[in-house]
Structure 1
Amino acid sequence: MLDRSANAPTLPPEIARRRTFAIISHPDAGKTTLTEKFLLYGGAIQMAGQVRAKGEARRTRSDFMKMEQDRGISVSASAMSFDFDGFRFNLVDTPGHSDFSEDTYRTLTAVDAAVMVIDGAKGVESQTRKLFEVCRLRDLPILTFCNKMDRESRDTFEIIDEIQENLAIDVSPASWPIGTGRDFLGSYDLINDRLELMARSDRNKVAESINISGLDDPKLAEYVPAAQLEQLREEVEMARGLLPELDPQAVLDGTMTPIWFGSAINSFGVRDLMAGIAKLGPQPQPQTATPRQISPEEPKVTGFVFKVQANMDPKHRDRVAFLRVASGHFSRGMKLTHVRSKKVMTVSSPVMFLAADRELAEEAWAGDIIGIPNHGQLRIGDTLTEGEALRVTGIPSFAPELLNSVRAMDPMKAKHLDKALMQFAEEGAAKVFKPMIGSGFIVGVVGALQFEVLASRIELEYGLPVRFEGSQFTSARWVTGPKAKVDAFVDGNKGHIAHDNDGDIVYLTRLQWDIDRVERDHPDLKLSATKEMMV
């Protein structure tokens, strides 16, 4: 387990001020709106774009792929950097749709903390629970934002109880809401003893902050009606008696989550949450690797690719590898060793992102996320170093749950389809298997929406209409074992064997019974539902 304690080594100031985190939520809890407001407060954009598409009025800044803009969901994970109160925030956006959970899992390998957004009316939903489990596997500290308090929402204690029971984590309120729905006035900041009032008139306006000397301060009565003030005092007294006090070390250990209440669409509670990320969130953390762990304060640069995004700019058919800098101080033009191929690369045009806007990155420190444009040399799981043969571990690839065959509507363009599929496989958007017998490909995904996304992207980016059709196979397993045994197994089962885009052997099957039979008849072989994406 990584050491997140106070006695971890002191980091250089430039690294210590980095906060690299992801936002996790159930679809529609308000994740993209919150991302927008972060950028607004970070001074990165002047006016936040709302998510629900209203003609061409505005498109949300962080959702740039055409399908995301049409649907109002985040499908591709993008990374954004901005400054706030002397800290550098690196926000990695995760796909907000359940079908993209593998992409989300990989994104969470590149961050040091997560912000969990829950809907005040709905509480903990299924997707939140799944993503929380992934954070738990990685011991990630979690900060919680309860959104949509300006709509009718559930009782505050009920929401906190649900988080504690469902997710088995202590919850400590950092703020307390005053009213809900139409009566929602704002919140009481329990950390700084401040009254925060929401401005309903201007959604992009920063909330008004009033310093007071505690809940008995007579000044409160000037701003809060008597009945609501009495309720606030009672509830806060109960909360302080029943709920654990905020413990920064427990937050870093992942055993406690602080919770803020607000309304992202009204820009309310967002600034307090950001101040909480700066104060309570972890500094850049060590990365697990072989043969040794990588610490952020090491002078030499190392980094690993956790995502590859193709065609970020439809005008240029390009590919960008998202690299988390794990250690050192990177500067543009540096020569780095690509550990898998042992080749030296000159990183001459790295970029940093503000959503779809790119800027050339002159430098980056441990904790930062940079994009490296490339023509397919970089894959998910690759490590770049200043020469040492280190490999960052723990970036998984999951077996798909749905398999379809795919064909181009125009048979003359089949060659282009091969190229498009390979590009999406390297991006991690789908698994692409080439069966040993027969022509064509089998495409595997986690959820059905991914087939729609692929079909729409292949048509949009390659001008190639395609059709996905049911396959005779329903699941895939990677086959490993002694070479002679694997070769013999492949020879005897050619109708079930395919290769993935890395050339690894995959067993395609119709039934779980087949998998059980192979495991029984071939004890030396291992059939795996996951494959670690590294060299």
Structure 2
Amino acid sequence: MGSLNIGIVAHVDAGKTSLTERLLHHTGVIDQVGSVDAGSTQTDSMEMERRRGITIRSAVVSFTIDGLQVNLIDTPGHPDFIAEVERALRVLDGAVLVVSSVEGVQAQTHILMRTLTRLRIPVLIFANKIDRGGARYHELLDDIGRKLTPRRLAMSTVTGSGTAQARSMPLPLSEGERAASVADLLAEVSDTFLESYLSDTTQLTDRDYRAELVRQVRQAQVVPVYFGSAVTGEGVDDLLRAIRELLPPSAGDPSARLRASVFKIDWAPGGEKVAYARVYSGRLAAREPVDTYRRARTGGVVEGVGKVTSVRVFAHGTTTRETAAGPGDIATVYGLAQVRVGDQLGSPDGLPSGGFFAPPSLETVVRAARPEQNAQFYQHLLRLAEEDPLINVRRNETDRTISVALYGEVQREVVKGLMLDRHGIEMTFEETTTVYVEKVEGTGHGLEVIWQNEFAATVGLRIEPGAPGTGVRYRIAVEPGGLPAAFHKAIEETVRRTLRQGLFGWEVVDCVVTLTDTAYSSPITSAGDFRRLTPLVLMAALRTAGTTVHEPVNRFELEVPDDTVHAVTSRLVAARAVVDRCDTHGPVSHLQGTIPASNVHDIERQLPGLSHGEGVFVSTLTGHRRTTGTPPVRPRTDGNPLNRREYLTHVLGRG
């Protein structure tokens, strides 16, 4: 039996969790369809998900279609949980993008489709809610063609649209006038099909059309569109047949080296860590050692090893069975205590170098409401960050304050709720602040010579600006063999760690650091000497070069009723936004532009009142621009190597 891993992705409230329930019902996994409003769905298993009626963490369920096992990942729809969607996208063979026939192509839908297209993931679109008042057909197809992909192909039509009697009727591929339009679409990217279609001696059959459609869908060249209703089940059977026929089943060599990707971390009732992993090749079995590979913030690969105690493969619904996992399987893995989201098991091949979506641009200081809970509060936050690494828990070792990075206010409320539900800790948030970055202005040098400093080492460093988007590049301009490899590693790792806090306390990006001088004294010198000396040298170089602070800027997409455009635009301008596009289609206007990330929350908070409660706003980090006026400063957590006396007191524990 083959396998297929698909994701259900959508803008919030488009109906993807309801569609998941309907798919499980139609394939015999559940006897009764659950309700999001009632909190009885299979995939929203967390108490907070049931209470709020939204998906917070990705969930896996399994069902079978004509002998094909399908592992389905239900992902969050709210933009605050876009990182959870990113982790799911990495392990998919195909995706079902749910679009509401009533609300149409919404802003979050744009972002998801662009990412799916960039990753060349085959996509089926399910146009949901055809039974709801205001449901559209031709207008929605036009919107999909204009906003998502010009290569969309309607696979069904609708009768009784907008009523409880709405029905989805399959469309033929090769009959009547439709045959020519389908052939034109398929021939755009296939010379072979075009030649056969134009040939006087070849008569294409429906099987030929369907074979070419399958080929192009699996190569992400065309996107079929199915209409239906997750609530009534209309059109779901057609979607199931399309999943079985059009999306590419998992492939992989079971005899090859193990390669599996961890996309989710959960916890067993007894507190044991559980890793969710998709297997690409090889075999993952219990009671065997497994090599782990992780992309470090420094850009390198961190290797580890663990021993798997148990492997369970999804078999039916949310149930699993104890067995070895092979290519295409999604398994829950026990025993890997140090594993994190994003790790690869068995092989580093294909280890991602970066994310599809930008990290959070907001940060807030958090505290336990009861001071006596602060110690365990920090440990629980670290555990929560293992589930979502982009929360990025950061503690100031001087005043012991704790900060977390967040995408938005909804995620903030969820973190607060999870801490209370799981651990009984009420947490408080200070005002949310923006996470800025620093960029190097000029060229600076720093040098500390052995026996003339507090450490048995010589380090010389030069820092200069790098090209935008290149991160931190590290170079060596000394004879590599003149220093043990462990010392070189200590210097580079410390350089990258130190640059997380520049002259104003913000991370330094897009720069080049060159090692210009080294010396050591054997056997006195240790790697620790280089780790403790390097921050002093690097900060001296950075102070000479100078830095400027840059604020994050988001690209936004906004849909509002046409009669509210003036009021909304005025508020955007007051928020320092730049609107560079405004399209009006009927009663709805679609605006695009850029806005400082620090002002996004204000727009989100005021939009309902400005747009009769009908506005939809989605934004993602697109870059940074230099701040004006006095640069914002973030308190340091690294002992402050800009102040020698303070830093030495910190690292040496004495004055």
TM-score of the aligned structures, taking structure 2 as reference length: 0.60
Answering whether residue 276 of structure 2 is matched by residue 322 of structure 1, we say yes
1:46-195 correspondence runs (5 A):
46-53=31-38, 59-182=40-163, 184-191=165-172
Identify the match of residue 393 of structure 1 among 334, 352, 367: 352
My pick for the range that moved more, 102-111 or 175-184, is 175-184
2-structure distance, mates of 1:271, 1:278: 11
**What one-letter code is carried by the residue in structure 2 that aligns with 1:306?**
F
User: Are the structure 2 counterparts of residues 487 and 189 from structure 1 closer, same or farther at C-alpha, using a change threshold of 3 Å?
Assistant: closer
Question: Which runs of structure 2 are paired with 1:126-525 in the superposition (5 Å)?
Answer: 126-182=107-163, 184-191=165-172, 247-284=213-250, 296=253, 299-309=256-266, 311=267, 315-339=269-293, 342-353=303-314, 357-374=318-335, 376-385=337-346, 390=349, 392-394=351-353, 396=355, 398-428=358-388, 430-435=391-396, 437-470=398-431, 473-475=434-436, 480-482=472-474, 483=492, 493=503, 495-496=505-506, 511-512=550-551
**Structure 2 vs 1, CA of residues 296 and 20 (structure 1 numbering), >3 Å: closer, same or farther?**
farther
Structure 2: stretches of 5+ with no match in the other structure:
187-208, 295-301, 440-470, 475-491, 509-534, 536-541, 554-623, 628-655
Measured after TM superposition, the shift of residue 102 of structure 1 is 1.5
How far did residue 274 of structure 1 move? 1.2
CA separation of 1:95/1:318 partners in 2, compared to 1, >3 Å: closer, same or farther?
Answer: farther
**Whole-angstrom CA distance in 1 between matches of 2:548 and 2:129:** 45
Distance in 2 separating the partners of 1:281 and 1:513: 38
Please report how far the alpha carbon of residue 491 of structure 1 lies from its aligned counterpart in structure 2 after TM superposition.
8.4
Work out whether residues 351 and 358 of structure 1, in 8 Å CA contact, stay in contact via their aligned partners in 2.
no
Task: Tell me which amino acid in the other structure corresponds to 1:24.
Answer: V
In structure 2, the CA distance between the partners of 1:38 and 1:471, relative to structure 1 (3 Å rule), is: closer
CA distance in 2, matches of 1:253, 1:131: 18
Is the Cα contact below 8 Å between 2:254 and 2:326 reproduced in 1?
A: no
Code of the aligned partner of 1:175? S
CA contact (8 A) 1:62 1:356 kept: no
Q: In the alignment, which residue of structure 2 is the partner of 1:527?
A: none
CA separation of 1:166/1:418 partners in 2, compared to 1, >3 Å: closer, same or farther?
same
Backbone CA RMSD of aligned residues: 3.5
> Residue 496 of structure 1 contacts residue 509 of structure 1 at CA under 8 Å; is this kept in 2?
no
Cα distance in 2 between the residues matched to 1:79 and 1:513: 34
Task: Deviation per CA, 1:463-513: give whole Å up to 9, x if none.
Answer: 111101125553368973444865876787374479xxxxxx9x9997529
Q: Following the alignment from structure 1 to structure 2, what is the Cα–Cα distance between the partners of residues 399 and 168?
A: 27
Deviates more, 1:396-405 or 1:474-483: 474-483
Q: Is the 8 A contact 2:49 2:55 kept in 1?
A: yes
Alpha-carbon deviation of 1:395? 5.4
State the 1:350 CA deviation.
Answer: 2.1
- Is residue 61–residue 317 contact of structure 2 (8 Å, CA) maintained in 1? no
Q: 1:513 to 1:407 in 2, by over 3 A?
A: closer
Distance in structure 1 (CA, Å) of the matches to 2:158 and 2:180: 14
* Partner Cα separation in structure 1 for residue 236 and residue 307 of structure 2: 40
When the two structures are aligned, how many residues end up with a matched partner? 439
1:458 alignment partner, SS class: helix
Q: TM-score, normalized by length of structure 1?
A: 0.73
Supply the distance in 2 between the matched residues of 1:281 and 1:298 (Cα, whole angstroms): 24
Aligned counterparts of 1:242 and 1:71: Cα–Cα separation in 2: 46
Cα distance in 2 for partners of 1:378, 1:114 equals 27
Range with greater deviation from structure 2 (356-365 or 372-381): 356-365
Query: Are the equivalent residues in 2 in contact too, given 1:41–1:84 (CA < 8 A)?
Result: no
Equivalent residue number for residue 40 of structure 1: 25
Structure 2 counterparts to residues 17-28 of structure 1, below 5 A: 17-28=2-13
The DSSP-based 3-state class of the residue aligned with 2:163 is helix
For the 8 Å contact 1:351–1:361, the answer to whether it is kept is yes
Change (3 A) 1:150 1:394: farther
Task: Give the distance between the partners of 2:165 and 2:283, measured in 1 at CA.
Answer: 46
1:318, distance to aligned residue in structure 2 (A): 3.7
Answer whether contact 2:125 2:223 (CA < 8 A) is retained: yes
The structure showing larger relative contact order (alpha-carbon pairs under 8 Å, at least 6 residues apart) is 1
Partners in 2 of 1:140 and 1:263 — Cα distance? 24
1:422 partner letter:
L
SS at match of 1:74: coil
Shift of 1:190: 2.6
Do 1:79 and 1:354's aligned partners in 2 also have CA atoms closer than 8 Å? no
Deviation at 1:20, TM superposition (A): 0.8
Output the amino acid matched with 1:261. Answer: F
Q: Distance in 2 between matches of 1:513 and 1:24?
A: 27
In structure 2, relative to structure 1, the CA distance for the partners of 1:333 and 1:177 (3 Å cut) is: farther
Please report how far the alpha carbon of residue 410 of structure 1 lies from its aligned counterpart in structure 2 after TM superposition: 1.0
In 2, Cα distance between equivalents of 1:37 and 1:164: 27
Measure the CA separation in 2 of the matches of 1:113 and 1:35: 15
CA displacement, residues 357-381 of structure 1 (integer Å, 9 cap, x when unaligned) = 4423313221221112346411122
Superposed CA deviations along residues 400-440 of structure 1, whole A, max 9, x for unmatched, are 12110000111111111111111111211622123464312
Rounded Cα–Cα distance in structure 1 between residues aligned with 2:549 and 2:316 = 41
Structure-2 change in CA distance of 1:486 and 1:419 (3 Å):
closer
Residues 509 and 352 from structure 1, CA distance in 2 versus in 1: closer, same or farther, beyond 3 angstroms? farther
Q: Identity, % of aligned pairs? A: 28
Point out the more displaced range, 81-90 or 330-339. Answer: 330-339
Secondary structure of 1:181's partner? coil
Inter-CA distance 490–28: structure 2 relative to 1 (3 Å threshold): closer
Q: Is the 8 A contact 1:304 1:384 kept in 2?
A: yes
- 1:367 is paired with a residue whose SS is coil
Contact 1:113 1:140 in 2 (8 A): yes
